[in-house]
Amino acid sequence: MARLTDKYTLITGGTSGIGLATAQAFLAEGAHVAVTGRNPQTRAEAQRVLGDTAWVIDADAGDISAQQALADTLATRWPRLDALFINAGDVTHAPLEVWQEETWDRLMGTNLKGPFFLIQALLPLLNNPSSVILCGSVSAHIGLPTSSVYAASKAGLLSLARTLSVELLPRGIRVNGLSPGPVETPALSKLGLDDEALKTLQSDIARLVPLGRLGRPDELAKAALYLASDESSYTVGTELLVDGGTAVGR
């Protein structure tokens, strides 16, 4: 099958984890693929994994001015954008008492403010029809300690998926949310834990999942592929939970 033949697709935060797996899935289905990332090492590795046909772009999802710059960059080479997967995210978790305004603003800038202004900047490029996918999180639905700011940002993003789905539908733009449950990705390594503590955390997280394990990036990529393709042409303003039953099990 080639469900995305000749479709131009952008995946933010696409140089590792769920984003990279989605880029691989999109390429396999015939799409033109661009991914963004901040880290030079992960961008280089993504280019190696995806090959020369993919476009790997240096972009900071939390820099508001960079959103228009990204849109301008895409317009220099692409005639349109058929699918957008906003996947870049700050996964910082911390107890309430240690949060500071600077770290709050950085997380919200990456997870909520940046995505809003990226969609705004990309409006002239988004095709009729096209699909926008906002990566939420099951954390928006459960009371997980230390996740307060992260969960709030994802709840806001999922609200955007609902409201923008109505606002942008006259332009032929479908907007939906895709919410992963606990997934085994490099994001866990960014929590600053040693190997033993990380293994303990992974075990604790897995116990939250009724299915009994962490998800795999490719399982989320398949869901993103559905939402990006014409197979989801009647799917608008919804949230697709791919979480191993975490939301209903809490």
Domains identified in the chain and CATH numbers: 8-249 (3.40.50.720)
The structure's pTM equals: 0.95
| pLDDT recorded at residue 32 | 98
**In the chain, % of residues over pLDDT 70:** 95
| pLDDT recorded at residue 132 | 98
Poorest-pLDDT segment among 160-164, 193-197, 207-211: 193-197
HEC profile of the chain: CCCCCCCEEEEECCCCHHHHHHHHHHHHCCCEEEEEECCHHHHHHHHHHHCCCCEEEECCCCCHHHHHHHHHHHHHHCCCEEEEEECCCCCCCCCHHHCCHHHHHHHHHHHHHHHHHHHHHHCCCEEEEEEEEEECCHHHCCCCCCCHHHHHHHHHHHHHHHHHHHHHHHHCEEEEEEEECCECCHHHHHHCCCHHHHHHHHHHHHCCCCCCCCECHHHHHHHHHHHHCHHHCCCCCCEEEECCCHHHHC
Residue 215 scores a pLDDT above 60: yes
Q: What is the mean pLDDT of residues 160-179?
A: 98
From the candidates 8, 150, 226, 234, give the one annotated as an active-site residue: 150
| pLDDT recorded at residue 193 | 57
| pLDDT recorded at residue 232 | 98
Tell me, yes or no, if 226 is annotated catalytic. no
Per-residue pLDDT tens over the stretch 120-137: 999 999 999 999 999 999
